[in-house]
Amino acid sequence: MSTANAQAQALTVLHLSDTHFGTEQAAVQRALLDLAESSAPDAVVVTGDLTQRATALQFEAAQRFLAQLPRVPTLVLPGNHDIKLFDLWTRLFVPYRAWSAVAGEAGAAELRLDDRLLVVAADTTRRWRHRHGTLSRHQIEAVAARLTHAPQAAWRMVATHHPLCVAQRRDLEDRPRHHDRALARWPAAGAQVLLAGHIHLPGVMPVSGTACSVVQAGTALSHRLRPGVPNSVNLLCQAADPMGSRRCERWDYDAGSGRFVVTGSTPLGAWAGR
């Protein structure tokens, strides 16, 4: 497939995060499944915190939810809430066992959609850290290598649970260790979008000095909301036009209608094939 033809193909990625099963809201879950069906995404990315306390029942609920999403390529990352907090033996020796059983193949290192899309996963959680995240130098370089070898026409994204860049001072401590190194390395290697969750605050921010954007998802289902911020997910869309124009649509849950409604659309920049 030529670069020109790849640029002209429409593409939609559903990005959701922080479902926090155990604190989910049934009406919001029904509405999100309706949106997932009607938007017909080509891929789904879930940036962690499937559960609130990593219990068996919460993972079972998360698994049922994931099974109801569209049957498209899906990438699921762990979040810090997906590791047992009080069961120290499990946390130390098999911290990701329950998450892996639910994520299955979706817990892979990357998601590829022919030569149109590459999403690379970088796990920022650590068994010895309860809330905050970390990126190792090895992880950063491994992600950069995957980006460098991606097809030239591909929309290139990196997904983490913890955000590399935040809009509010109160969230600065939620960035993972070595976020600055990743912010310098990944856009230089070809990353065009950095997906994350964790702080329950949706938004789009530029990475200074680059054509790359940070795209944050809010909490998809939980009642653990930030003041004034509803449940929220993102649709990242590439248009079927010669330039392959891209945007991030923010979809918020509207309690009055019982539906997710689009509340904003942010351009993600012109095509920048490498």
- pLDDT at 67 (0 to 100): 97
Nearest to 12 by CA among 49, 30, 37, 47: 37
Q: Is the pLDDT of residue 89 over 90?
A: no
- CATH code: domain of residue 220: 3.60.21.10
257: left (phi over 0), alpha (psi -120 to 50) or beta: alpha
Q: Is the pLDDT of residue 99 over 80?
A: yes
SS3 216: strand
Nearest to 193 by CA among 1, 8, 4, 13: 13
Pinpoint the alpha helices (H) of the chain: 3-7, 26-39, 56-68, 88-93, 97-103, 137-148, 179-189
Q: Is 272 among the domain residues?
A: no
DSSP E strands in the chain: the ranges are: 11-16, 43-47, 74-77, 110-113, 117-121, 155-159, 193-196, 203-206, 213-216, 232-238, 246-254, 259-267
The structure's pTM equals: 0.93
Domain count for the chain? 1
> In the numeric block, which tokens belong to residue 5?
């033809």
Q: Is 274 among the domain residues?
A: no
pLDDT tens sequence across 215-261: 999 999 999 999 999 999 999 999 887 667 999 999 999 999 999 99
Q: Is 67 among the domain residues?
A: yes
What range defines the domain where residue 13 resides? Answer: 3-267
CA of residue 101 relative to chain centroid, distance:
19
Instruction: List Cα–Cα distances, 236 to 2, 123, 131, 219, 250, in angstroms.
Output: 22, 21, 27, 17, 9
pLDDT tens sequence across 16-69: 999 999 999 999 999 999 999 999 999 999 999 999 999 999 999 999 999 999
Q: Which residues on neighbouring strands pair with residue 239, listed in sequence order? A: none
Q: Is 273 among the domain residues?
A: no
Average pLDDT over residues 200-229: 96
